[in-house]
Structure 1
Amino acid sequence: MTKIVVFGNSGSGKSTLAKNLVKVHHIAHLDLDSVAWAPSNSITSPPSRMPISESTVLIERFLTDNTSWVIEGCYSDLLAEVLPRADELIFLNLPMKLCVENAKARPWEPHKYESKQAQDANLDMLIDWIKEYENRTDTFSKQSHQALYDSFGGAKTMYTSNNHSEAP
């Protein structure tokens, strides 16, 4: 069984690495974005977080249904729920400049946006968000991610460049 957690700043390549791990290991994939946000009634309304208790129920369902998996996201509060079951931890700790470049080059994510245009409309906001990674103290911050990494007792790797996308 393979149980891997991948986390880091927005634009660090979490989804790319997770998709590669799925192909190599033939395991299930959970993008925490799919369980972290409440459904929105309007394109113009700002997204809001789903209560953590509801997200946890969805994560538990995924864990019950899958014995081998990769879970990826930037939510330290949700990742903390998963870490006790993980075999391996991968922290994508890329320089901000690389994360911004990756965000600008990312393909359309249909599971997150109704169109490439809707995704691109959020790009400036996303870049501002990426640039605040080292200054924030919330669940999405470098500080919070570093604490997760430091506390994990199993196999763990930290990548500081884009070379992680090919990692098995």
Structure 2
Amino acid sequence: MQKILIFGNAAAGKSTLAKKIAAKQGLAHLDLDTLAWLATSPPQRKCLSDSTIEIDTFTQQHENWVIEGCYSDLLELLINNSATDHVNKKAFANEIIYLDITINTCITHAENRPWEAHKYPSKKAQDDNLAMLIDWIKAYDTRTDTFSKLAHQQLYTRFVGKKKTITTHNK
């Protein structure tokens, strides 16, 4: 069984890598952006319990999957922190990939990304959000929230299983 988590900064290439892996290995793909937010303006996070239900539904419907996002609180639900923890083992990831890509590379990705129709009603709406996204990307190293480099490093360190850090972007 393949159960892979991919995480890192905004615009690090998580979705691109997840789509490649999903296509190559025949895995179901879940972008956590699609279930982490309420449809409000400005966007607000869903409560953790609602997102948890959606993640549980996805992992129950798919034996093999790749899940990606920057949400350490949601990703934490899918990692087995101990070799003796066997509760709901079916939902645990057996591999994680941490995209520890430079901030400058993430900014370049954000500036050049195609329209993400699952996130924005138009390319213009996406572009209107670019300045905020770049500020968000720049704060990755200094934030201490669930989206931060610190939270990602802690998640990586605690994971028991196959893990890999990628520090360069390959097309």
- Shorter chain as normaliser: what TM range? over 0.9
The one-letter amino acid paired with 1:68 is: N
- Percent identity (aligned): 53
1:66 maps onto 2:58 in alignment: no
Residue from 133, 142, 160 that aligns with 2:149: 142
Q: What per-residue deviation string (whole Å, max 9, x for no partner) do you get for residues 93-133 of structure 1?
A: 01100000011111111010111111011000000000000
Displacement of 1:153: 1.2
Aligned to 2:32: 32
Aligned to 1:48: 44
The one-letter amino acid paired with 1:159 is: I
* Equivalent runs, 1:126-137 vs 2, <5 Å: 126-137=133-144
Q: Distance in 1 between matches of 2:9 and 2:18?
A: 14
Query: Structure 2: 5+ residue runs without aligned partners?
Result: 81-91
Aligned length: 160
Q: Distance in 1 between matches of 2:155 and 2:44?
A: 24
* Equivalent runs, 1:96-135 vs 2, <5 Å: 96-135=103-142
Displacement of 1:39: 1.7
Find the residue that maps to 2:45 and give its secondary structure: coil
The one-letter amino acid paired with 1:121 is: D
Q: Compute the RMSD of aligned alpha carbons.
A: 0.7
After TM superposition, which residue ranges in structure 1, 4 or more long, deviate above 4 angstroms? none
The one-letter amino acid paired with 2:168 is: S
Q: Distance in 2 between matches of 1:82 and 1:105?
A: 31
- The two structures have a TM-score, normalised by structure 2, of 0.92
Residue from 134, 144, 165 that aligns with 1:158: 165
Residue from 55, 72, 79 that aligns with 2:75: 79
Displacement of 1:83: 1.6
